[in-house]
Amino acid sequence: MPRSRRTPPGRPASPRYLLLAKVLRPHGIRGEISIQIITNFPDRLRELKKVYLSPSSESPEHLRAYPLQSARPQRATNWLIRLAGIEDRDAADRLREQYVYVSLDEAVPLEADEVYLFQVIGLQVETPRGEILGRVVDLIETGANDVYVVRGSAYGEILIPAIKGVVLSTDVDAGRMIVEPMPGLLPDAEDNPPGAASEN
């Protein structure tokens, strides 16, 4: 999924392309390429028909389309792919440091309980009792589970673990995430700055 370190004032615009991986190096002499996985759903590479390469990881430009002939895991974070038209090591070597994208229209559909990161950034976060905690501004990958960085006027910046029992629902269409803070997750009331109020 695409990452962003910028804090949006509200909901971000939907991207046209999703970042999947970064090209590392040629593998072998027949054009196969080793890539570093960036997406949370690498297995779906097997189902894609086409990918796009760009020199930029932030705003894809000068995209070039390649039919994807094969994709297979190499190690935990690396996969090997074969692109149509890339037939030897020299051609593969010219793609070093490029970024691999998929068109949002061509992406493999998510499961019912999954969302893309760009859909989560900017969501308003509140408790089941209607207390507004702020908006999601970033996501931290810890290995065990993702953690949402939420920023608001009531508590400043807080970290919400993306686990069942804490994140109760995520409604992208409504722009809202409902969470049940675990004990100790929110600062004590006396730690809040004077006059702090919940976001509207």
- Pairing state between β 124-126 and 176-179: parallel
Give the Cα separation of 119 and 79 in Å (integer): 26
**25-39, 42-56, 82-96, 140-154: segment of lowest average pLDDT:** 140-154
Sheet holding 176-179, edge to edge: 156-161, 146-152, 132-141, 124-126, 176-179, 167-171
Torsion of CA 94, 100, 105, 110, to 10 degrees: 150
Q: Against a cut of 0.95, is the pTM above it?
A: no
**H helix or E strand, kind and range, residue 191:** none
pLDDT digits (tens, 9 = 90+) for 120-137: 889 999 999 999 999 999
Band of the pLDDT at 196, cuts 50, 70, 90? very low
Q: Which domains does the chain have, with CATH numbers?
A: 17-103 (2.40.30.60), 117-191 (2.30.30.240)
**H helix or E strand, kind and range, residue 5:** none
What are the tokens at 187? Answer: 């600062």
Residue ranges in the chain assigned as alpha helix (H): 89-93, 117-120
Kindly report the backbone phi and psi dihedral angles of residue 119, in degrees, each rounded to the nearest multiple of 5, phi listed first: -80, -20
pLDDT digits (tens, 9 = 90+) for 7-60: 344 555 567 888 899 999 999 999 999 999 988 778 889 999 999 999 988 778
For residue 195, is pLDDT > 90?
no
SS3 91: helix
For residue 88, is pLDDT > 80?
yes
Q: Span 88-116, mean pLDDT?
A: 86
For residue 85, is pLDDT > 60?
yes
Long-range contacts (CB closer than 8 Å, 24 or more residues apart) made by 56-61: 56/99, 57/19, 57/22, 57/99, 60/16, 60/17, 60/19, 60/99, 60/101
